[in-house]
Amino acid sequence: MNISAAAAASGLSSKTIRYYEDIELIPPASRADNGYRYYDVSAVEQLRFVHQARLVGFSVAECRQLLELQSNSQRHSAHVKSLVLEKCDQLEQRIEELLQMQSMLRDLASRCSGNEGPDCAILDELGRGSAHE
């Protein structure tokens, strides 16, 4: 399997796969006679693993940890689970932040008449820097 097929199968881009190899997130791919990277089923599975982990919000560093756990038969599943729950909490926090920002924006928007004139409560408010603190 060439890199672009592996990309299609894993959901990553070829570029990203090379990049992950570069930063040693994943081991160097084996090579065909012509020097092309070659991926077997288990290599693709690893790519998919990383892709999924990234999708649910793990950083590359955290993916490294997860891959280590995956290859460590001495692992405790409790450890893995705690990483997942921790990430969950982080997402929760981030969501709260975004909701905060959104409510500030909605508040700003509600104060602005939104017409052809230049008077704008949004610009005024931003300059005042209150932001309800």
Partner DNA sequence: TGTAAACCTTACAGCTGCTGGAAGGTCAAG
Partner DNA sequence: CTTGACCTTCCAGCAGCTGTAAGGTTTACA
| Angstrom distance (rounded) from CA 5 to CA 8 | 5
Stretch 7-26: interaction string toward a second copy, x if CB under 8 A: ---xx---------------
- What gap in Å lies between CA 85 and CA 35, rounded to an integer? 42
Rounded-to-integer distance, Cα 117 and Cα 120, Å: 8
The residue from 30, 40, 45, 59 that contacts DNA (CB under 7 A) is: 59
How many residues in the chain? Answer: 133
Token duo for residue 108: 């700003």
Q: Contact region for DNA (CB under 7 A) — 55-63, 88-96, 101-109, 111-119? A: 55-63
Q: Near a second copy by CB under 8 A, which window of 14-22, 24-32, 80-88? A: 80-88
How many Å apart are CA 68 and CA 65, to the nearest integer? 5
Q: Does 37 bind a second copy (CB under 8 A)?
A: no
Structure tokens at 105: 């924006």
- Residues in touch with a second copy (CB under 8 A): 10-11, 45-46, 48-49, 51-53, 55-57, 66, 69-70, 72-78, 80-82, 84-85, 87-88, 91-92, 94-95, 98-99, 101-102, 104-106, 108-109, 112-123, 125-129, 131
